[in-house]
Amino acid sequence: MKPLALFKSELDVFLKELSRDFDIFGPKRQKKGFLDWGKIEGLSDLDLSPGVTKTSVKSFFLPQPEVLFEFSAKTGDERAFRLKEPECPDRKRVLLGVRPCDARSIFLNSMPYKEDCYFQGNIERNIVIGLFCKTHLSTCFCTWVGGSPTSTDGMDIGVYELEDSFIFLPVSQRGEELLRGLGLREISQEEEGQLEAYKSDAPEGISEGIDIAKEFSKKSLFDLYDAQFWQEVTDPCLNCGTCTFLCPTCYCFDIQDEVLRGRGRRIRYWDSCMFPLFTLHASGHNPRGEKVKRVRNRFMHKLKYFPDRFGPISCVGCGRCVRDCPVSIDIRQVIRQFLEI
């Protein structure tokens, strides 16, 4: 299927048409001024400013929390504590304006969650309409880790923003099916010229000029594990967990049962390898009781353990951890130190 076009002046009509069958979520300016995901009721809600939202799309695929089962906890109920699956929402969602780095995180998280029925169910429920990047921010480094400003990994539809129009590029089969029913037009010759110029002028960002995942695969696990720089990286860290909760490819979780007024639920919720309790055994032993071990594990997982198992680096270069770390720890510096070993 060829790319299709939509004038910017028609975007409001497009959103209304889309909202007939889907709940639409996209970048929305919050009351405190930052950009984050929100339900899009109309054109005025949608903010397509450069850069990523405060939080990632992770919450649509790994909800915080996610109800796995429900049960009755009432005294005398003969069916008490028998688990049942929660009802699934009928309406599907469209995630509009997803940046290539966030979309790539869906692709990466699908690898360890390949057989997770909850994650895969959320993949089916959410249609991803990505928005390619025209601007490179100081915290962006997608090109370091296998991505690009025009990557389609994890997208159903990719969108180029031109001067007066949007160009919709179908990526998946369901993306094609969605576009067929929206009455978009064929692109004009002028738009074809603008599109070629867009592709040639797409921001490259800063790159080490090498395949970092391939280079890291050659590195000795033990040399990286015993590297001298870990204490230097660790010293300023507060173990606050900000980086892991904002990161689109951090997917650690815990599970617990909650009971309130005779009703119970088993939930899966986000956890962080930066917290001391994460690896605390019932015996009292903690294999990562020291802060340096937790910091090392976070970076080793993303840059060594994950690529050794699945291939790509478990980082998309969105820069959220760089932007919001309270002590300014920069994963790009850790990558440079890896390369020097």
User: In this predicted structure, what is the pLDDT of residue 223?
Assistant: 93
**Sign of CA pseudo-dihedral 301, 304, 307, 308:** negative
Where in the chain are the domains?
4-340
- Chain-centre distance for alpha carbon 233: 25
Using alpha carbons, select from 59, 68, 66, 64 the residue that is nearest to residue 25: 59
> Are the C-beta atoms of residues 17 and 9 closer than 8 Å to each other?
no
Q: What is the pTM of this model?
A: 0.93
> Are the C-beta atoms of residues 203 and 135 closer than 8 Å to each other?
yes
Q: Which helix (H) or strand (E) holds 264?
A: strand 263-270
DSSP collapsed to 3 states, 151-172: CCCCCCEEEEECCCEEEEEECC
User: In this predicted structure, what is the pLDDT of residue 200?
Assistant: 80
User: In this predicted structure, what is the pLDDT of residue 87?
Assistant: 86
Taking only the tens of pLDDT, the chain with its 341 residues reads 789 999 999 999 999 999 999 999 999 999 999 999 999 999 999 999 999 999 999 999 999 999 999 999 988 888 889 999 998 877 899 999 999 999 999 999 999 999 999 999 999 999 999 999 988 899 999 999 999 999 999 999 999 999 999 999 999 999 999 999 898 999 999 999 999 988 887 766 545 556 788 888 888 999 999 999 999 999 999 999 999 999 999 999 999 999 999 999 999 999 999 999 999 999 999 999 999 999 999 999 999 999 999 999 999 999 999 999 999 999 999 999 998 98
Exposure letters 282-299 (e unless 16+ CB within 10 A, then b): eeeeeebeebeebbbbbb
